[in-house]
Amino acid sequence: MKKEIKTSDAPSAPSISQAIELGGLVITSGQIHLTKDGKLVKGTMEARAKQVLDNLEAVLATAGLSFKDVLKVTVYVTDMAEYSKFNEIYATYFTAPYPAREVVCVKELPLGASVEVSMIAKRQ
């Protein structure tokens, strides 16, 4: 039976679960650089990336997991020129062995965001 993971420490949207757990897998919805109060973080890519990863960290923590449990990460950016800045912040959240990852450049993201990240984690 699937279980919804929900926290007030990360933004949420109507009709979307922050994460779902089934069979020890926790699959997060994409998080953009919104504060838990629903304000879009502007400024540098470093600030936006930190907000996205902090949101996902809160969702994982609610499930009793951490970035060490992440198997797969999907990153969407609207400008590949900012990818290296995102990657600098990303590297401070993970240690080896790093999760599998893909980065996709898209035309636009919800609410005018410039980066969105989703994850798949596994309960040990």
Task: List pLDDT tens digits, range 58-68.
Answer: 999 999 999 99
- For the full predicted model, state whether its pTM sits above 0.85: yes
In angstroms, the CA 114 to CA 24 distance is 31
In angstroms, the CA 72 to CA 120 distance is 5
The mean pLDDT value of the chain amounts to 96
CATH tag, 3-122: 3.30.1330.40
- By DSSP bridging, strand 19-22 and strand 25-28 are antiparallel
Long-range contacts of residues 32-37, Cβ cutoff 8 Å, at least 24 apart: 32/109, 32/110, 32/111, 32/113, 32/115, 32/116, 33/113, 33/114, 33/115, 34/111, 34/113, 35/11, 36/8, 36/9, 36/10, 36/11, 37/11
- pLDDT tens-digit map of 74-116: 999 999 999 999 999 999 999 999 999 999 999 999 999 999 9
For 66, other C-beta atoms within 10 Å of its C-beta total 12
